[in-house]
Amino acid sequence: MTWREDRHQILAPWSILLFTGIFAVAFWIKAFITPAIGIFPAEKSILFYYLTEHIEYNSLASKGIAFLLVVLIAVVTFFANNKYFFIKKKSALLILFMVLLMGLSDPSHNLNPGIIGLVFLLIAFIRFLSMQGKQYSGSQAFDIGLYIAIGSMFYTRMLFFMPIFYIGFYMYQQLHLKNILATFFGTSFPYILVGTISFLIGDFNNFLYRLHFSLPETPYVKIGHLIYFGLLGLVALLAFMQFIGNFNNEKIKTRNTIGFIYLLLAASIASALFSPHIFLFEIPFISFFLSMLFAHFFATNTSKFARILFYVFWIVAIIWFLMSFIL
């Protein structure tokens, strides 16, 4: 990027990477020095159950794994955008917002099943992006079902994303019987495999039991969380209004992909609202989709209003982070 191009950005690329590193370290230092507040499923999906048999979700190891997974998700998403341009520009804001939004949410600091599920959703999302313009996309459809199913073995509600992917198939003109069947077989394969292994090792009853799980009672939601979620909702609404206003000016691929991300975000919020633990497990998914939408909004909108909104957003986020030690 040249200096002339760089000065029209809200933040220069070097400063984005610098702030990302600083905030990433700050957020997870807080996680390591403060006790875990997350309440995780009393009854766990089968693979999450086996994982937590060896790693406690509130241990130092789980916090380290969560940090590495967040960094991995952010970096892979950044390079995926460089390849498929679903955010239109090669913007490092993707990494910045992803580290910020996940770092500010305490549930993302531990071995949250949502974070593990998000890794597989990201792979499914990338396979979905590769379907654009292809005549034969059965293998991608199979892989999408496969990764969604594997993720659902850590977090069962992952399966709710499958209908959204079918809508995405329609948006990409890939909604064919062959692709529907491919996703069905892809989704079924991990369950058949894990079920067979469980049967052979004499743990089949546990496998059947883990297909359904319930959650404890809803935790208390602090006023600070409501203010923070309200700010996220405001920026998301402004980004959506800009997306609608520029809909006809966007390339077909960009507007279809951004529209698909909005659908995934809506599905995540709906899942959270109908969950006994509001937002606890859906926070990684919501943060992931919001980070892409925010990056698209601020990368394509460098008006004075957008700059002010960007800095206000970060000031409020930093204040919330500092106050979270005492709230």
Cα(first)–Cα(last) distance of the chain, in Å? 42
Domain limits for position 280: 12-323
Cα separation, 184 vs 98, in Å, equals 31
Distances (CA, A) of 51 to 154, 208, 214: 9, 17, 18
CA atoms within 13 A of residue 167's CA, in its CB half-sphere:
14
Tell me the average pLDDT across 32-56: 69
Sign, Cα dihedral of 130, 133, 139, 142: positive
Count of C-beta atoms within a 10 Å radius of residue 275: 15
In a domain, 4, yes or no: no
In a domain, 267, yes or no: yes
> So what's the pLDDT on residue 1?
43
Structure confidence by residue, pLDDT tens digits, 240-259: 777 676 666 667 777 888 88
Angle, CA of 17, 81 and 243, to the nearest 5°: 100
> So what's the pLDDT on residue 298?
81
Structure confidence by residue, pLDDT tens digits, 68-86: 888 888 888 888 888 887 7
Tell me the average pLDDT across 19-44: 66
In a domain, 159, yes or no: yes
**Does pLDDT of 36 surpass 60?**
no
Tell me the average pLDDT across 302-308: 79
Question: Which burial class, exposed, middle or buried, applies to 74 when counting CB atoms under 10 A from its CB (0-12, 13-18, 19+)?
Answer: buried
> So what's the pLDDT on residue 3?
36
> So what's the pLDDT on residue 186?
94
Cβ-contact 109, 31 below 8 angstroms: yes
In a domain, 6, yes or no: no
Neighbouring residues of 170: CB distance < 8 A, sequence distance ≥ 6: none
Work out how many domains the chain is built from and give that number: 1
Q: Which two tokens stand for residue 4?
A: 């002339």
In a domain, 213, yes or no: yes
Tell me the average pLDDT across 297-322: 78
Tell me the average pLDDT across 139-143: 93
Cα separation, 169 vs 140, in Å, equals 11
Q: Confidence class of residue 141 from pLDDT cuts 50, 70 and 90?
A: very high
Tell me the average pLDDT across 22-36: 71
Q: Confidence class of residue 183 from pLDDT cuts 50, 70 and 90?
A: very high
Question: Which burial class, exposed, middle or buried, applies to 68 when counting CB atoms under 10 A from its CB (0-12, 13-18, 19+)?
Answer: exposed
In a domain, 2, yes or no: no
> So what's the pLDDT on residue 8?
46
> So what's the pLDDT on residue 270?
83
> So what's the pLDDT on residue 22?
74
DSSP string, 146-178: HHHHHHHTT-GGGGGGHHHHHHHHHHTT---HH
In a domain, 5, yes or no: no
Cα separation, 138 vs 230, in Å, equals 41
In a domain, 3, yes or no: no
**Does pLDDT of 163 surpass 90?**
yes
Count of C-beta atoms within a 10 Å radius of residue 61: 12
Structure confidence by residue, pLDDT tens digits, 207-245: 777 776 444 444 445 555 566 666 677 777 777 777 676
